[in-house]
Amino acid sequence: MIDSPGIAFRAVLDAAPLPYVRRLLGEHVCELLELLQGSNADPASLRAVAASAVSPERLVADRDERVELLELLPADKREELAGRLGGAGAAEPAAFLAGLDWSPEHRRVLLGFLGLVVDRVPEPPASSLGRVGPAYGLFPYQRTAARTVRRLLYSGERRTVLHLPTGGGKTRTAMNVVCDHLRQHEPSVTVWLARGQELLEQAALEFERAWAALGDREVTVVRMWGDHPTSLEPISDGIVVLGLDKAGAAVKADPGFLDRLALRTTLTIFDETHQAIAPTYRRVVQALSLRSDSSLLGLTATPGRTWADIAADEQLADLFARQKVMLEIDGYDNPVTALIDQGYLARPTFRTVAGESGMKLSAQDQRGLAASFDLPEALVARLADNVQWNLQVVRTILDLSTRHNRILVFAASVEHSRMITAILSVLGVDAAQVTAESPARHRDRVISRFKGPGTQTMVLSNFGVLTTGFDAPAASAAVIARPTRSLVLYSQMVGRVIRGPRAGGTPTCEVVTVIDPSLPGFGDVAEAFTNWEDVWEAR
């Protein structure tokens, strides 16, 4: 630690006679400097070079050089230095300094007095006890959930759902379970099922990070979505991150694909498990669960498929033997409230603002609403083109920009996202957008800047790519400008800004949903968390 105030070595040289400085440098250095400058060397340049080129340690270690250096100190600084070296109150500070034996410790104090950091021999630790943190650790509530999950995966029906609220770390918790499974079952294959490139790549990267910390051998990671091949030859020990749509296409091309994969698979993870009872996806899950020693784990923040269809929720619960691991925290009826109070989740403020579009729902619109799980695309597209509704969207963003540095916008379509971004930019707001059509390099650059530590407000608009698999803890506000009646989708959007300070996020967050009064919407993530409790057995 540098003592203060002392006097900087450069300040001593700045006040020293020029001949002293030239002598320290040597005439060859002075001559070189004069040649480079084309005339007599500028005194300020000589002093600057000396401050960098001359070794203070050499001056302090040599008796004659040290005496001359001490004489250059102002009288009040010599007195201050004498006090540090045990001569406080000495009648003649200069004589006290001259009479010291200048041990290594004395020289170290002088160097510190000159503003120089001196490496010291490390002192022995005060205690024989130390603490070490895990490279891939879990919060206490996650560890409790993981223990219960393991118990259910290896007994009875061997299947369960892990239900952690949005922002609660379900992927990290599940990866601990996966790594534990692979360590105990060698060789073994785990299949991680998900839908959407962002979520699939997040899972592959997260496993690589987890296994690097928790693994005990080299295993294979197979990415199997998009244009990736579906060959099973490379894997007998490790994880297959399999896109649900890719699985369906693979079965069409090769009916025996899932059967061969199932023979190797002892654990299947279904991320965003509310999708599991869709007929195509259910067949994938059932095919991979044929082995008697195979386990099935679903992951979700909202363990239901719809908001009001209890029959569909019953089917989902049955698929997982009605076994669900959720948080039970003493003193709290709702675990979301507990995680907010304890700082794991941000304390959210929810509000809605109405954009009066004046849209009239036709009979065809009504039929589309009745038949669709979510709002029909044609209806959403009409709303996204509505001037009055978009005026409310832009005004909402501008209002939030006065008190938030990072704002996420969930737009209604690709074109809608582009339009919002363009208008905000013209208005002087730092705004960018990413969609599924964005080039990977552009997407990575924009997201990196959004995640950065900048103090200026930045708005990131998106459509369809940041609802899952995206982590930006600094984001503290979200504008939901994507009309939906899917409580699951709404909860996923809210989840992008709800990470609390103990998880690297913000203490509070603000979520504003722009609604059209003629269309249904949702507004509270806590309601989403408890909406399906009557069809599950908490464990």
Say yes or no to pLDDT of 257 above 90.
yes
CA 280 distance to own-chain centroid:
33
The answer for residues whose C-beta is within 8 angstroms of residue 296's C-beta and 6 or more apart is 153, 158, 159, 160, 267, 268, 270, 285, 288, 289, 320
Q: Residue 494 has which token pair?
A: 């809210």
pLDDT in tens, 489-504: 777 788 788 888 888 8
Distance CA 87, CA 138 (A): 55
> How many Cα atoms are found within 13 Å in the side-chain-facing hemisphere of 22?
14
pLDDT in tens, 202-239: 889 999 999 999 999 999 999 999 899 999 988 999 99
Mean pLDDT of the chain: 82
User: Any idea what the Cα angle at residue 222 is, between residues 221 and 228, rounded to 5°?
Assistant: 150
What's the whole-model pTM score?
0.63
Distance CA 511, CA 528 (A): 15
Distance CA 334, CA 341 (A): 11
Give the closest residue to 478 by CA, choosing from 456, 508, 504.
Answer: 508
pLDDT in tens, 265-286: 999 999 888 778 788 888 999 9
The answer for residues whose C-beta is within 8 angstroms of residue 410's C-beta and 6 or more apart is 462, 463, 466, 467, 478, 479, 480, 481, 482, 493
Peptide bond into 507 cis (omega under 30): no
With contact defined as beta carbons under 8 Å apart, do 511 and 477 qualify?
yes
Q: How many CB atoms lie within 10 A of CB 305?
A: 24
Instruction: Give whole-number Cα distances, 265 to 181, 236, 238, 269, in Å.
Output: 12, 9, 10, 11
Distance CA 462, CA 435 (A): 5
> How many Cα atoms are found within 13 Å in the side-chain-facing hemisphere of 253?
9
Q: What is the pLDDT of residue 212?
A: 96
Q: Residue 389 has which token pair?
A: 């509704």
Q: What is the pLDDT of residue 417?
A: 85
Distance CA 110, CA 346 (A): 50
Give the closest residue to 213 by CA, choosing from 164, 167, 178.
Answer: 178
Residue 160 phi, psi (nearest 5)? -165, 170
Q: Where are the beta strands (DSSP E) in 282-346?
A: 295-300, 323-326
With contact defined as beta carbons under 8 Å apart, do 487 and 531 qualify?
yes
Q: Is the C-alpha dihedral spanning 249, 253, 258, 263 positive or negative? A: negative
**Rg (Cα) of the chain, in Å, rounded?**
33
Q: Residue 41 has which token pair?
A: 């060397």
Q: What is the pLDDT of residue 473?
A: 74
With contact defined as beta carbons under 8 Å apart, do 46 and 30 qualify?
yes
Domain 140-326 has CATH 3.40.50.2300: no
The answer for residues whose C-beta is within 8 angstroms of residue 368's C-beta and 6 or more apart is 376, 378, 379
pLDDT in tens, 367-417: 655 555 556 677 777 777 777 888 888 899 999 999 999 999 998 888 888
Distance CA 461, CA 473 (A): 16
Please indicate whether residue 66 or residue 529 has the higher confidence score (pLDDT).
66
With contact defined as beta carbons under 8 Å apart, do 160 and 323 qualify?
yes
- 513 class by beta-carbon count within 10 Å (0-12 exposed, 13-18 middle, 19+ buried): buried
pLDDT in tens, 120-154: 445 555 567 878 888 999 998 999 999 999 999 99
Instruction: Give whole-number Cα distances, 502 to 135, 136, 392, 405, 506, in Å.
Output: 16, 15, 34, 19, 9
pLDDT in tens, 79-91: 898 888 888 888 8
The torsion defined by the Cα of 181, 183, 185 and 188, in degrees rounded to 10, comes to 80
Alpha helices in 307-374 (DSSP H): 310-319, 335-341, 363-371
Please indicate whether residue 285 or residue 198 has the higher confidence score (pLDDT).
285
Domain 336-532 has CATH 3.40.50.300: yes
Say yes or no to pLDDT of 514 above 70.
yes
537-538 β-sheet, strand order: 220-224, 238-243, 189-194, 265-271, 295-300, 159-163, 323-326, 537-538
Q: What is the pLDDT of residue 369?
A: 57
Distance CA 31, CA 36 (A): 9
pLDDT in tens, 293-348: 999 999 987 654 444 455 667 888 888 888 989 887 788 877 778 888 998 888 88
Domain layout of the chain by residue ranges: 9-113, 140-326, 336-532
Q: Residue 216 has which token pair?
A: 């005990």
Residue range 418-442: mean pLDDT, rounded: 84
Give the closest residue to 313 by CA, choosing from 369, 275, 271, 368.
Answer: 275
Please indicate whether residue 298 or residue 532 has the higher confidence score (pLDDT).
298
| 3 state DSSP class of 192 | strand
Give me the residues paired with residue 431 across strands.
459
Distance CA 289, CA 360 (A): 48
